[in-house]
Amino acid sequence: MRKLDITSFEDFKEKIAENETVLVDFYAVWCGPCKMTAPIIEEIAAEAKDFKVYKVDVDNVPDAAVAYGVSSIPTIISFKGGKEHARHIGYGDKNTLLALLK
């Protein structure tokens, strides 16, 4: 398991609450567009300095997906101060996903 993966709803709530700015990728391993987005998320995470990046497998942590109304994947949500700031549904290139942080 990669260090970006969130494994429980409790872990999810802690991660978005304890960090000022967070980018979360809601995905599933069987999802084609999620597989296309994964390397971009990994690249953003590797370059991140002022924010954290996490991944939530909706099949393993469905409570987090339900809590934020994630009905299509991938859904990438940015959080600031524990609150949802912006959201993108579907495949997005690096610039599109980074724009969620502004």
Catalytic residue among 16, 23, 31, 76: 31
Of 22, 53, 60, the residue nearest 38 (C-alpha): 53
The C-alpha angle with vertex 30 and arms to 28 and 60, in degrees rounded to 5, equals: 35
* 34 part of the active site: yes
Catalytic residue among 22, 34, 41, 76: 34
Cβ-based neighbour number of residue 66 at 10 Å: 12
Q: Tell me which residues are annotated as active site.
A: 31, 34
